[in-house]
Amino acid sequence: MESRELVIVGGGPAGLAAAISAREKGIQDILIFERDCELGGILNQCIHNGFGLHTFHEELTGPEYADRYRERIEKMKIPYMTDTMVLDITPEKVVIAISKTEGLLEIRAKAIILAMGGRERPRGALNIPGRRPAGIYTAGTAQHLVNIEGLLPGREIVILGSGDIGLIMARRMTLEGAKVKCVAEIMPFSGGLKRNIVQCLDDFGIPLKLRHTIIDIKGSERVEAVTIVQVDEQSKPIPGTEETYTCDTVLLSCGLIPENELTKRMGVDVSQVTHGPVVDESLETNILGVFACGNVLHVHDLVDYVSEEAARAGTHAAAYLAGDRKKKNRSCSVQIRTGTGIRYTVPSYIQPERLEEENVIRFRVSDIMKDCYTSLYINGERILHKRRRIVAPGEMEELAFSKEKIEGLCEIQDILVALEPE
Return mean pLDDT, the chain.
93
What is the spatial distance between Cα 99 and Cα 53, in angstroms, rounded to a whole number?
A: 36
Quick one: pLDDT at residue 332? Answer: 75
Mean of the pLDDT values across residues 136-142? 95
Q: In 62-154, which ranges are E strands? A: 80-81, 84-89, 94-99, 103-114, 118-120, 136-138
Quick one: pLDDT at residue 232? Answer: 95
Quick one: pLDDT at residue 409? Answer: 58
What is the spatial distance between Cα 304 and Cα 190, in angstroms, rounded to a whole number?
A: 21
In tens, the pLDDT along 345-360 reads 999 999 888 888 888 9
Mean of the pLDDT values across residues 218-222? 94
pLDDT at 410 over 70: no
pLDDT band at 408 (very low <50, low <70, confident <90, very high): low
User: Is the bond preceding residue 347 a cis peptide, omega within 30 degrees?
Assistant: yes
Q: How many CA atoms lie less than 13 Å away from 136 in the CB half-sphere?
A: 25
Quick one: pLDDT at residue 131? Answer: 83
Mean of the pLDDT values across residues 237-243? 95
Question: 83 vs 409, which has greater pLDDT?
Answer: 83
Sign (positive/negative) of CA torsion 410, 416, 417, 418? negative
Q: How many CA atoms lie less than 13 Å away from 252 in the CB half-sphere?
A: 20
In tens, the pLDDT along 23-54 reads 999 999 999 999 999 999 999 999 999 999 99
Quick one: pLDDT at residue 126? Answer: 83
Q: What is the CA radius of gyration of the chain?
A: 22
Q: Does residue 298 contact residue 308 with C-beta atoms inside 8 Å?
A: no
Mean of the pLDDT values across residues 15-25? 98
Percent of the chain with pLDDT over 70: 98
Q: What is the dihedral of CA 102, 107, 111, 114, to 10 degrees?
A: 50
Helix, coil or strand: residue 349? strand
Quick one: pLDDT at residue 315? Answer: 96
pLDDT band at 406 (very low <50, low <70, confident <90, very high): confident
Question: 120 vs 332, which has greater pLDDT?
Answer: 120
pLDDT at 21 over 60: yes
Q: What's this model's pTM, rounded to 2 decimal places? A: 0.93
In tens, the pLDDT along 88-102 reads 999 999 999 999 899
pLDDT at 383 over 70: yes
What is the spatial distance between Cα 35 and Cα 38, in angstroms, rounded to a whole number?
A: 8
What is the spatial distance between Cα 398 and Cα 302, in angstroms, rounded to a whole number?
A: 13
Quick one: pLDDT at residue 331? Answer: 65
pLDDT band at 56 (very low <50, low <70, confident <90, very high): very high
Query: Position 151: which residue type?
Result: L
pLDDT band at 375 (very low <50, low <70, confident <90, very high): very high
In tens, the pLDDT along 282-333 reads 999 999 999 999 999 999 989 999 999 999 999 999 999 998 776 666 667 8
Mean of the pLDDT values across residues 252-267? 94
